Amino acid sequence: MNATIWQRLDQIGRSLAPAAVTLMLVLLGMVPLCLPGWDKVAPSTALMSVYYWSIHRPDLLPPSAAFGIGLLQDLLAGTPPGMTALVLVSCHLVVETQRAFFLANAFLILWLGFGFMAFGAALLQGLLYSVFYQTLVPMQIPLVQAAVTLVLFPLFASLFISVHRAFLKEI
């Protein structure tokens, strides 16, 4: 009987890995670095994570989890409530429609797709900021952040792949 309980707890823990990794990256992203202007252009690690898990394990990181993580990021960062949540849920829903295509192709195609997603998210974020503040917001900073996010995606993807292989191959 105890083995069954431990096996069930192990399975629950493994199934929480994508959300836990995404949440950890959001929290690590809140740590201030001593680089001038870095806070404005720091990579969107939550977007990277939601993109990856929406392709590889959407059952373990559903849109509701992406929404909750995005809302938490908004509250911690002081951004308009729901903005990041909307961007992450939009990413999840768009990527889910193209999931089979990405799974059938090489990493380079996955990375290229992420480029479109990162810049699309930057444009959506800029639009949402403009609506929220009722003024046209300059797009340079979100576009630079998208570029930084795109360049760093392979590094973070290797983390996601490692977690996927280590914890989720049996689920």
Residue carrying structure tokens 């903005």:
83
Residue 75: the pLDDT is 96
- Classify residue 127 by burial, with Cβ atoms within 10 Å: 0-12, 13-18, 19+: middle
What integer pLDDT is reported at residue 171 of this predicted model? Answer: 60
What string of pLDDT tens digits covers the 171 residues of the chain? 566 888 888 888 888 999 999 999 999 988 888 778 777 889 999 999 999 999 999 999 999 999 999 999 999 999 999 999 999 999 999 999 999 999 999 999 999 999 999 999 999 999 998 999 999 989 999 999 999 999 999 999 999 999 999 887 666
Residue among 47, 31, 34 at smallest CA distance from 149:
47
Q: At 163, list the tokens.
A: 């977690």
